[in-house]
Every structure is written in C-alpha cells, then in structure tokens.
Structure 1
Amino acid sequence: MKNALYAQAGGPSAVINASAAGVIRACRRSGQIDTVFGAHFGVLGALNENLIDTSPFDDATLELLKATPAAAFGACRHVLHDLADDPREYQRLIDVFAAHDIAYFFYNGGGGSAHACQAIAQASRRLGYPIVAVHVPKTIDNDLLHTDCSPGFGSAAKYVATSIREASIDLASMSHTSSKVFILETMGRYAGWLVGACGLATEHPNDGPHLLLFPEIPFDETQFLHQVKETVERVGYCAIAVAEGLRDQTGNTLHATGQKDAAGDRQLGGVAPLLAHMVTQQLGYKCHWAVADYLQRAARHLASATDVAQAYAVGEAAVAMALDGRHGLMPAIRRLSDVPYRWDIVGVPLDDIIQGDRFVPREFISASGLHLSEAGRRYLAPLIAGEDAPLFKHGLPQYFRLPHDRVPKKLPPFQSPLTSRVQCQV
C-alpha cells in the first residue's frame, strides 16, 4: 500500500483540524492507504522533509485534534515558483514523495492552496511521478467559488455575531453617560461575508448592530455619519460592524497597513479606528472599537456544529475522491434546502475553483446597503447553527498538541529559492 501526505495552508480556522481528523480516519478505514504523514508547516514542511507520522494517534487523540483550533500541523504562506521558471521546488517535492512512498496529497486551505494543489499535481505528471492531489477547502473568508460555504466560515460567523450582540448590549447599558458608538472590525479581505454574519445578531428593530459596512458597497462618508447620528438620536447608541476591506467610491481600500504577506497580498486592518476617529471628530460621540483579528478564526469554544460537521465531511470526501483516482478536485458543499438546512458534497474541478473569489451577492444586502437582507439571513442562519464545544478541564478547553517526533529524513537538506518570502503560522 502507498502512503498519503496531509498539509495545512494559509490562515487557520476553528475547524481546520476537523478536516485533518476526517482525512486521517478515512485513510485508515479505506484499507488502501498505509501511513498518513502530516507536513509540519504546510508545503514548506514537505520541502524540508519535516513530516509527522500520524499512526500513533489513537481515537481519543483524533477526537482531541478534531476539537482543536488553528492549524495543528502548522501552516505557511508560501508561493511556489512556476514550474517553467524554476522546477527545483517541484522536483524536491517529488523526491520527498518518492522517498516516503507517498501517492496521495491532501492540501487543506483556501484559494492559494487550491492553486498550489493543482500545480503540484500537474508538475508530478511532467516530472514522471504522478500523484493524486485533492484540495480540502478551508477559509473563514467564505470566498471560495462553487461551494455553498467554506469550512471555517460558519464558526467565525458565529463568533462575530455573538461578539457584536454582546458588545451591543454592553454599549446600551452605558450609553446614557458613556460611549455611544462601538465599531467591530471583521476579517474577510474584500468579501463581506463575516460582516454580513454580524447582522444575524439583530432580532428586533433597535438591536445592534445598527450598521453593516460591506466591502461590496462603496463607503459614503456623508451617508455613514448621517446614519450614525440618526441611530444615536433614535436608539441612544449605535453599534457598527465593518469589513477590513471596506472600499471608497473609487474602489480603493479605505485603510491598509502598507505591508504585504508572503503571498504578495496587502495586509488589511485598521479601518475601525479610522472610522472611530471620524465619528468622534465629526459627531463628537465617544466611540470604542475592536478588531476581532485572530480571535474570530481561533474561537473553537464557540464553533458552529454545522461547520464542524462540514469540515470533517470534506476531509472524508477528499479521501474518497483520491481513492477513486479523481485528482485535481475539491470536495464542495452543495445546499439542498434552507429549512431544514440540508447539504451534500460534490467534486468540483480546481480549474473552476481558482477562477476568482466569491463575493456577497447584492440581494443578500438591504436596499440601503447598510443591513442584511432577508435572503442574506436565510443563507447565513443555518451555517452558525448548533454548538460543538471542546472538552473543558479546570475551566479551560483542552486541545491537541503536536508531538515532537519527526519521521527520519532520507534526503539531504533543501534550500528553497523563496525562503525569504515564507511566513509560517501555527
């Protein structure tokens, strides 16, 4: 029997390790795969032959892994050279696969890892060691094409919706003599799915959040300030959720750090304090702001049961596709009905997945552009449904810890031509 390699990529989520557990268990059940190796720090771990043997993980360990946030095997942002420009990294990957008798590769991540997964599969054929590569979807941004939702999004959505509801209640309780405006900044880059999810917190007309600022809707400062003022005068306070990738009328991001990550993407963040300053200076209201940042993607204690189930299922489905020889695919979630929420999994070619990003449809946003529509609420509500809490001990959640042992290396060290561009995340 041949072996399999599993790797994690990009920004983690609260449920990515549920996918890892799904892959490992499905490989074991298949009777067609011997050992599942985990790459330490994604494709970079594969290049450096830093591999973990998952064979010692018993069922209790896999349950702990399934309930652990972040990338338990370590992820990285690393862009592989084009094969035609520099084949060294691809040849190294093939050498590692061959040295450890690896025939199956599962890459768990977002759009960037879908590109990489496809490129590795194509390169393996050109270099004479064909492997079956399947992409396992993950991103809290919910911007992967051709899937009803992206595993990781539902839990992040549950966290930001809960946070803005609780912060709105706090704001209301002190608004008579203290702050009157609160702004929560969410991740999501240029897709407003997470800020839209904040709208689920509103059950009654005067509940927060009162304004949602989507990157799909050009920011209008005059309209924004007018709405804040009107809300404070009517309700007594105003709670706002804003996407990090909010754009102005000309399409430019309202705020960015000016830095870039290892994939060459601009690092976003900082729009909340910019808006808070605007509110204070123009309207005179005391304003607080917060950036959910890593908290929204690491909050396994508040994971959506729907999200956990889907993350685990795409891991299992990826193995089934690989064993059928269906390489170059991503197991995508297909919605069958809203109420009750029913779904299944279908294979989608990576050629289709990498064509672009998925943004919030205009019909999911209210006519004013500042709220969630009923269609948006119908889409989002089932994705945050249900609770799947980890095991708690002494008042704190218990999580999986990666073992220190590594598989003995069989190859000489590799010096990557892109070492300076690597940004690793655990």
Structure 2
Amino acid sequence: MAAKKQNAFYAQSGGVTSVINASACGVIETARQHKKVIGKVYAGRNGIIGALTEDLIDTSKESKKDIAALKHTPSGAFGSCRYKLKSIEENRAEYERLIEVFKAHDIGYFFYNGGGDSMDTAHKVSQLSETMGYPMTCIGIPKTVDNDLPITDNCPGFGSVAKYVAVSIREAGFDVASMAKTSTKVFVMEVMGRHAGWIAAAGGLAAEKEGDSPHIILFPEIAFNKEKFLKKVNRCVKKFGYCAIVVSEGAKYKDGTFLADAGTVDAFGHKQLGGVAPVVAQMVKAELGFKYHWAVSDYLQRAARHIASATDVEQAYAMGQAAVEFAVAGKNSVMPTIVRKNTKSYKWSIGEAPLSAVANVEKMMPRKYISADGMHITDACRDYMLPLIKGESYPPYKNGLPQYVTLKNEPVKKKLRKKFEI
C-alpha cells in the first residue's frame, strides 16, 4: 500500500485497437474507486510524448458517463504514438525528464498500455525511478492486435481483429465465388502482422469445410515459395472455381526479404512495408493469367469496434482494472496477463508477468498451428482462436451509425519552466 495518496499517469502506446479504450475505462473507473490511495488520473496526450512534453490530460474533468462510453469507443481516446525511448545509457535525459514531470505533478503510479516496446519502457522507468530517489509503481497493460506478447495467453485487441478478418474473408469469398465464372477468380486480402502470423491465421477460421474461403494463408513464419504457391492457386481455381488468399504484411522469402519491402523504416526502426497484396496479385496475373482483386485491411481491421468480440472487450477492460488493483496491492514492474484454464468450455483468469520477461519479446505462431503445407491453419489453432472471437458487443447506434465518445481532454496546468524537444 502506498505511503501517501498520489496521482496516476496513464498512456496509450503504439498502434491503437478497437478495445484499447476499454482498458483505459478499466483503469480510470477502478482508480476512482480507490480515492484514498490514488488522486487524479492524468493521461498523456499522444502517449509517452505527453509525459516528456508535460502535456497531461486531467481525466477527472470527464463525466462518469463519458468514461463508461470509452468501453465501446475504438482507437486511442487520449492519442497514442510510435515513439521508442532509447536505452538509459543512450539517452538518460529522456528518463530523467519523465521522473521530473512525474515528480512535479505528484505522480506515483505509471500505467503504460501497449506492446513489447511499451513494457520495456515501463520496466526502465521503474528501475530509474528507484535510483533517482523517486520510486514509482509501474504497471504494464497488454495491448496489441498482433497477439505477440509472451506469457499472456492472448492480447487484448487481437480477438476483435481476428473476428473482423474472419468475417471479411468469408463475406468476400461469397462475393468472388458468385462472380468467378465470368469475372474475378483470385482475391487477395492483406492483413497486419510483421513477424507473427496470428492475424492471418484468424482468416482460417472462416473455412469450416473444403472449398470455403480462404483457400490459402501466407504467414511470416513460413518462407514464401513462389512455385508451390502458384501451383496451389491454380489447383484451387480448377477445383473450386476461384481462390481466396489471406496474406500477412510480413510474408517473406527464405532469405528474410519481405515480399513488400518498401526500403524505408518507421519510428521504431522496423522496415516499412509497402503493401504485399498487390505484389501477390500481380504475381498470380503474370504467371497464371487469372483476373484478380485485392484489398488491404489496414486501419479498418483494428478500428472495427462495430464487430468487436465480446470476449476481447471483457478482457481489455479486465486488464486495465487489474493493473490498478495490482498497483494498490503494492505490486510493481509487472503486467497483468490472461490465463486460459484447462477446462472443456473456455474460461480464463488473471495472472501476472514481470515486465523484464515481457519487454521486447515476440511470440510467434507455433508450427503446430500451421498446416503441413504451410498455407493454412490446423485444428489446434482453430481450438485456440475460436473462443477469442466469440460473442458480440455492439456499440449503441443512432440514425444507423455507431455512437462513440470524444472526450474533452482538458489539459493540466504545466509546472515546469523547462521545455523538452522531441
């Protein structure tokens, strides 16, 4: 238990999801229930950048109703960012600035909602705060559509993307099948997943019997073999009249070259990928001559709150709630996790993992989840994924459109004279 009442800082990091705001809702609502220990909850405007620039948002200015509405609102309500803090050795000034801002605003709790890089940041802040004589409670909150965080059974954000992808390729498959005799014979849908093929694998849930879409899935974990791929496309068109393909953006050749390497890098130093769907589609056209269409799910897949998984929404909220409960209980430098119980029907509980074991570690698709030919999923994968996409959690609708909340996001008055340049 904290020695004295202190404020909390919450920030959203990396690519947003359709349920990250549900985690924010869990944090804020739970913190409000612990008024004797936690004062105000300040949010970082645009993630950790908000802390570095002392651009804080006072969530206490938001009504109970609006905070509750976060549970059904997609994207990052306070703004997110792709900003990776360097190591303490490389740029100690950044970490010292964070502590300086936290100290100025009497912030003793740090809740960071993101993926592996974010867990690394939270861990480092915890370590440095101790050495600087201003110890803080740092709790990570898992979030990533890529489902690639270790230790936790799955990641909030993934179940809803998986549902969207499975539904989309099923519906597109019906469309292509109906036109294949005289029109499009090959459809390629590109999904996210730079190194891990979890999202691509989710498309396989739509194929319940032979001939169902998708017929082919291309994973980052399996080296792309052009000859083998084209032969299977040709067989599918001859047998079923068409071929539907789900391809992960991170599909690559045996030598590690991405099919869609754009030759640039993003803010995290990751290779910028230029769109693999048109590359694959053009390959089919050039070699087999089939008419094609392609689509890139892009932001649509992670923003689709209208088709979110009820399981995903529930787990996202629970992770935010657990983070606060962990902090109040005196735990530090940990991340709440989802633990799948060994029961016939799907049940889960909340566990925990040290941030040091989660930081910068990617969990890839197990080979047992990928079919022997490397181009579809197994029953084991289906058993793992199906519970994660179950249940509907529709937002309220008005005039035919979902109703989402836009917060006031009122700023906290700055206390430091020194500005920090990003």
> Is the 1:338–1:379 contact (alpha carbons within 8 Å) kept by the matching residues of 2?
no
Partner of 1:229: 234
1:117 aligned to 2:122? yes
- Cα drift, residue 145 of structure 1: 0.4
Greater alpha carbon shift after TM alignment, 407-416 vs 304-313: 407-416
Q: Residue 424 of structure 1 aligns with which residue?
A: none
**Of residues 68, 81, 84 in structure 2, which corresponds to 1:63?**
68
Number of the residue aligned with 1:18:
22
From 38, 46, 67, give the equivalent of 2:43.
38
Equivalent residue of 1:206, what SS? coil
2:279 matched residue in structure 1: 274
Residue 334 of structure 1 and its aligned partner are, at CA, apart by: 0.7
RMSD: 1.2
Equivalent residues of 2:116, 2:360 under 8 A apart: no
What is residue 335 of structure 1 aligned with on the other side?
340
Does residue 133 of structure 1 match 2:154?
Answer: no
Residue 84 of structure 1: how far off its partner (Å): 2.7
Deviates more, 1:247-256 or 1:199-208: 247-256
Tell me, in whole angstroms, the C-alpha distance in 2 between the residues paired with 1:338 and 1:396. Answer: 39
- Given the alignment, which residue of 208, 214, 220 partners 2:219? 214
Deviation at 1:355, TM superposition (A): 5.4
Say which of 196, 199, 213 aligns to 2:201.
Answer: 196
Distance in 2, Cα, partners of 1:318 & 1:409: 27
Secondary structure class of the residue paired with 2:81:
strand
Please name the residue that 1:6 is paired with.
Answer: 10
Aligned 8 A contact 2:336 2:351 in 1: yes
CA contact under 8 A between 2:78 and 2:409: conserved in structure 1?
A: no
Unpaired stretches in structure 1, ≥5 consecutive residues? 420-426
Q: Supply the distance in 2 between the matched residues of 1:332 and 1:322 (Cα, whole angstroms).
A: 14
- Structure 1 residue 402, shift from structure 2 partner: 2.8
Query: Could you tell me which residue of structure 1 aligns to residue 364 of structure 2?
Result: 359
Query: Aligned-pair distance for 1:404?
Result: 4.7
Cα deviation code 1:307-356 (max 9, x no counterpart): 00000001011111111221110101111036411111111001111252
Secondary structure of 2:61's partner? coil
Partners of 1:40 and 1:50 within 8 A in 2: yes
Q: Secondary structure at the match of 1:309?
A: helix
User: 2:33 is paired with a residue of what secondary structure?
Assistant: helix
Task: Report how many residues are paired.
Answer: 417
Q: Structure 2 residue aligned with 1:309, among 306, 309, 314?
A: 314
**1:380 alignment partner, SS class:** helix
Q: Where in structure 2 are the equivalents of 1:125-164 lying within 5 Å? A: 125-164=130-169
- Matched to 1:330, the amino acid is M
Q: CA deviation at 1:82?
A: 2.5
Q: C-alpha deviations, 1:168-197, integer Å up to 9, x for none? A: 000011111100000001101110000100
Pick closer, same or farther for the CA change 1:55–1:358 going to 2, 3 Å. same
User: What is residue 346 of structure 1 aligned with on the other side?
Assistant: 351
CA contact (8 A) 1:48 1:413 kept: no
Does residue 395 of the first structure (1) align with residue 400 of the second (2)? yes
**Structure 1 Cα separation of the partners of residues 133 and 326 of structure 2:** 22
Aligned residue type for 1:60: K
**Equivalent residue of 1:30, what SS?**
coil
Aligned to 2:250: 245
Mean CA deviation greater in 50-59 or 269-278: 50-59
Question: Equivalents in 2 of 1:148, 1:83: separation in Å?
Answer: 30
Does 2:79 match 1:74?
yes
Secondary structure of 1:241 counterpart: strand
Distance in 1 between residues matched to 2:111 and 2:409, nearest whole Å: 22
| Corresponding residue for residue 55 of structure 2 | 50
**2:404 is paired with a residue of what secondary structure?**
coil
1:107-130 CA deviation, whole Å, 9 max, x = no partner? 000011011111111111111111
Tell me, yes or no, if the aligned pair for 1:338 and 1:378 is still in contact at 8 Å.
no
- Identity between Structure 1 and Structure 2 (%): 51
Cα distance, 1:56 vs structure 2: 2.8
C-alpha distance in 1 between matches for 2:271 and 2:351:
33
Normalising by structure 1, report the TM-score: 0.96
| Aligned residue in 1 for 2:387 | 382
Retained in 1: the 8 A contact 2:61–2:410?
no
Once residues 118 and 324 of structure 1 are traced to their aligned partners in structure 2, the CA distance between those partners, rounded to angstroms, is 18
User: Which residue identity is paired with 2:18?
Assistant: A
| Cα distance in 1 between the residues matched to 2:72 and 2:400 | 16
**Secondary structure in 2 matching 1:134:** strand
